[in-house]
Structure 1
Amino acid sequence: MLSDRRLFLLGLGSASLAASLSGCGGAGAMRAPGGIAGGPHTIQGGFPGIGFADWTDRQPEYLLYPSDEIEVATPTAAELTRTVRIGPDGRIALPLIGSVMAADRTLPQLQQDLAAAYASQLIRPVVEVTLRQAGPIRVWVDGEVRTPGVFEMVGDLDAYQAIIQAGGFAPTSRPDSVALIRRGPGGSRMMRVVDLRPRRGEVVALRRGDILFVPRSTLGELAAFFTQVRAAMPIGFSYSINGSNGNGYAQF
């Protein structure tokens, strides 16, 4: 199992590769409408193979995370009801069925998984899953900041405050062209470019699992960076499993 820090360092390695591939504003650079880099614009079609969805502020359905505390109730077999905390590997342990992947699933999805698992053990495998307490809320800050990493949100946190937690912008940064990547409805990934210049930029509230990427010169390096990690969307936890077995996917 990989730690958050090690996973994030792998992401930094991809970012370094992206920077070397892109140079200083090559042909891959994206510009917002009107020819001005940055601004609150959705990136559409500029990064082939990544497939960002249209931006929406609608809240996606809640996904379970490690450290979340849930109640797994079995009304037809009350003695099996348990309150459990999702482990760092994304799994929970339950009587009769053992270890089950819970992270990266909605509550209805987990209920279906558990009902199927209990089908061979119970005559009426009815399962009800309730979120009792959410675990830590984390965001990722990468690129041209002084101390990139994973940061826990304490209360409300906006994008500029997250940059401050990451040590502030590096001298080589483009604070007017910061990419915000977010999980959208249905597990899609969305991206928009925000202006976070002090006293001139936007106030953008962050959500759990958001990624802020601060480019060095143009968004061309961002395209290369996310080409490297297009199969992964960090959402605040780390577990490594075979994506082909239907149980999840590896995080970078």
Structure 2
Amino acid sequence: MKQQFLLGFTLLALLASQALAQTAALEQAYREPINKAAYRVGPGDVLQISAGPGAVRQENFMRAEPVGPDGRISFDLVGSVYVENKTSDEIDAELTALLSEYIIDVEVTVVIASYQARRVFVLGEVGAPGQYLINKNMTLMDALTLAGTPTLRASRAKIRLIRSTSTASKPEIVKVDLNKITKKGELERDVALVDGDIIVVPPDTLSKIGYFLDKVLRPLQPLFYIGVITGLINSIF
């Protein structure tokens, strides 16, 4: 009976600690700045582009260019350039290469002046958990890639997408098995994201137990060391 009670208490404590950890991670993600450098441009975004030789910026090469529905912008000398799903640094490098055929020692600066973006949160066992700006065409797989992909400790078959809706009192929870997308090619499971989505990548069972035991046993380490030292002293004297 005592063993069953202890096992039940341990499981409840494990679930409680996991819930608290996820809540704390979400609060931390809200406080951290959005990683705009990783943002990939999409239709409706506006790019502020300036270009010129050296540090000089000529007025006729300063433009605020909207990204069209086809993912392209139009810029002097080089014409139509496909920029969808590229970062501002990648667009900068591409325009520099194209304009270098017309302008000696050209320097280009690309700044995203206006976002048609959605903010999502990626929590748990990923390389860089936090909040990210994504464009309207991005999916769960895209967000996981931005966040550094799941770690080796991740439970890839039990990813959760939490979505708040204006019509429901409780958030919608979508279960996603990442293995069926990446290993079986079931791309229909790759959910399109909306603003405010929360993606939770939980640890696998073994990692959960390890985290829990670490929290329980770590505070007891000083007592363990005292016991070992006391035992050694008693054995000597």
| Structure with the bigger percentage of helix | 2
TM-score tier by shorter-chain length is 0.3 to 0.5
TM-score, normalised to structure 1, is 0.40
Greater relative contact order structure (CA < 8 Å, 6+ sep): 1
Between structure 1 and structure 2, the one with the greater Rg is 2
